[in-house]
Every structure is written in structure tokens, then in C-alpha cells.
Amino acid sequence: MSGGVDSSVTAKLLTDKDYDLSAVFMRNWDTRDESGSDHGCEWEKDWEDVRRVCGVLDIPCKMVDLSREYWTRVFEPSLKSWESGITPNPDVWCNKEVKFGALLDHLTEDPGLSNTPWLATGHYANKDWKYHNGVPRPRLLRPRDVTKDQTYYLSSVPERSLSRAIFPLGSIKKTEVRELAVKWNLPTAARQESMGICFVGEKLKFNDFISQYIPPKPGPIIDLETGLQVGEHAGPWNFTIGQGAKVRGLKEKTFVVKKDIPKNIIYVVPGTDHSALYAQSLTIRDWTWIWADSPPIELMRPGGLKARIKFRHVMSDIGCSVYSDNDCIRIDFDEPQKAIAPGQVATIYIEDWCLGCGTIVEVA
């Protein structure tokens, strides 16, 4: 449980089932950072909300401190990515490495549990079982409420962990979740959704946070069309592809189109619809199929695998062809796509079935 309304309603739904139920709160970030300040996830308040809800539902709860695992498996790799100028997605890897990794391992090794634990979360996702070569295997599916679809964030979770996952909100819309929370008088019924990266928190700007870990590295901002310097940046990690550059003194707004990391240059173009912002294909490395031993055979065929792709959480999936390209996956879009950032996660689907994900390394 996170202390939010989604996990609170999830817990209430499970109390009506025949489960041996207990709640677990993950502490993933130590708010007392190296600078000695207190910010980031307000875990104390979240933990208090979890305890209040569990008190109302009469279920036991405990806190598990996974801040060390989060630091080494999620934050440090993300920090290296930002420093190298690419744009990682730590929330995707948190689910694989921490929630459905370290936490599930911790619960499995708990001597107080007599049976193998299942992990229920408040994610908006569905799961079913499909026979493959005579064996039932779990499939990650989109939820009923497609506007809250969180399969993108779950796309790195391996099959062995997915097989032990339960998603009670998969068939419920967000508006209905709110209504149920009010109906059941849950203490978190009016709590707003949390936004942004967990360790940054909601009161601190990302650039201010990351500057505590990465020293400034000033460099030029150059207009791609004219080749002229139009401004200066404090470090390439402060920008992502497609982001407004906020260059003072220019009549037209400019947007980041490219980064030259070795030369520490940010390139910009005028307008939000410049042709240089669009790409027809991308290359992905470290691709992970949820069914790791059973990649689709269509990848090796001339026409590739016809699928749908998302390379951001907040976007509609789009048509594409997927090919195996040596140790990488190549994606060709049905139509050109805008503002694709290396380092981000790309996820592919066949209809509602999420097959897996990988990290974007090249855009063309």
C-alpha cells in the first residue's frame, strides 16, 4: 500500500475475498539526503495514511525499508543516465527491481508466512492466463479504464513475478474507485493523486533536485537551422527531446531537438511542429520479453511483427513493425512520431496484450 486512494480501495476489495491478508508499505527513499535536507517522498505521511486505512479495515500492516535497494538498483543507474545526457524512466525500473523484485523476494523469504505470497497492487492493469506449449502463462493486459492504463510502468516485470501479481482495479474505472472510497468512508477518499518522480517529491523542481548530485556543466544552445548560438545551458540533463528550451530574447519559442553529449551542445528548433522533431524509426537495446523464452517468431520474418507501441506513459499507442536487429530491436512506425528521447522506455502491444519493453538508444 502507498497511502493513496487506489491501494486503499484495493485493500478493501481484497477483504471481501478469502485471503490471508496483510498490508505492506515500501519505504523507497531516505528523505535525509546527503545534503542534510528533508525532502522527496513524504513517506511518514504516506505510512500514517496506510495505518489509518488498515485500522479501518482491520488488517495488519508493516513497513519494509527498501531505500538501499532503490538507491543501488534504480536511482544510481538513473543518475548515470541523466549525467550522460539521456532521459531514463526510473518508475518503470522501480516496478521490476523493487516492488516486484526486492519486495517480493523479501516477502518470499519471510519466515512468518506459511504459504507463497501473492502481491496485490493498486495498478490499473489486468492479467489473465494463456496456454503456451501446454503450460499456463500470465499475460499483462490493459485495464478497463484505458485513460489510467499503467501497463507501460509494469512492462519490465518478468513472468515469474507477474505470475504472483493481482490487479483488483483492472476492471474498475478511476471515477468508480473514488466513489467506492467515499462509500466505504476510507480515510484516503479525498487524497489527490501524486505526480512526478517519487524521490523528487512534489514541492521540489527536478532541476533543483538533480543539481545536488550532478555538478553544473555549462554549454551552448545552438539553433539547428542557423548554426548560431542562441543561449547557454547548465547541463544536458536539464533538457529532454521535445522540451521547450526557454531561450531568452527570441521571438519564437524553441524546442530541444538533439543533444551532442561529447561536445556538450543542446540543439533547438523554432516551433512545436518542426520536421526535425519527428522520427520514422527507433532502435532499442536491453529488450525484455515478459515471456523471456518465447519471443514472437514474426520478428525474424521480412515484414516483422505488426504491433502497437508506446514510448511515453501519457500517449496513445501507435502502429508499428518490430524487427530483430542483431542484439537490438528495431521499430518502424506506421507514421512519423514526435519528440522521442533516447533513454526512455518503449513498450509494445498486440491489441491489449503487453509483450515487454526496452530502452531507446537511437532515433532516426
29 vs 308: which has the higher pLDDT = 308
Residue 198 designated active-site? yes
Query: What's the pLDDT at 34?
Result: 45
Q: For the residues 221-225, what does the mean pLDDT come to?
A: 97
| Catalytic residue (choose from 198, 320, 354, 357) | 198
Tell me if residue 98 falls in helix, strand or coil. helix
Residue 37: what pLDDT? 45
Query: What is the second-level CATH architecture of the domain 276-363?
Result: Beta Barrel (2.40)
Lowest mean pLDDT across 42-56, 196-210, 319-333: 196-210
Q: Where in the chain is the domain with CATH 2.30.30.280?
A: 216-272
Average pLDDT value over all residues in the chain = 92
Number of C-alpha atoms within 13 angstroms, CB side, residue 132?
A: 12
Reported CATH class of domain 5-183: alpha beta
Computed over its alpha carbons, how large is the radius of gyration of the chain? 22
In the chain, residues under CATH classification 2.40.30.10 are 276-363
Cell of 259: 543533444
Sort 266 into a burial class: Cβ within 10 Å, 0-12 / 13-18 / 19+. buried
Q: Which fold has domain 216-272?
A: SH3 type barrels. (2.30.30)
Nearest residue to 122 (alpha-carbon basis) of 91, 153, 168:
168
Give start-end residues of each CATH 3.40.50.620 domain in the chain: 5-183
Rounded to two decimals, the pTM is 0.93
Catalytic residue among 41, 54, 61, 94: 94
What is the torsion angle, in degrees rounded to the nearest 10, for the CA atoms of residue 193, residue 196, residue 197 and residue 198? -30
Q: Is 90 exceeded by the pLDDT of residue 303?
A: no
**Cell 551542445 -> residue:** 265
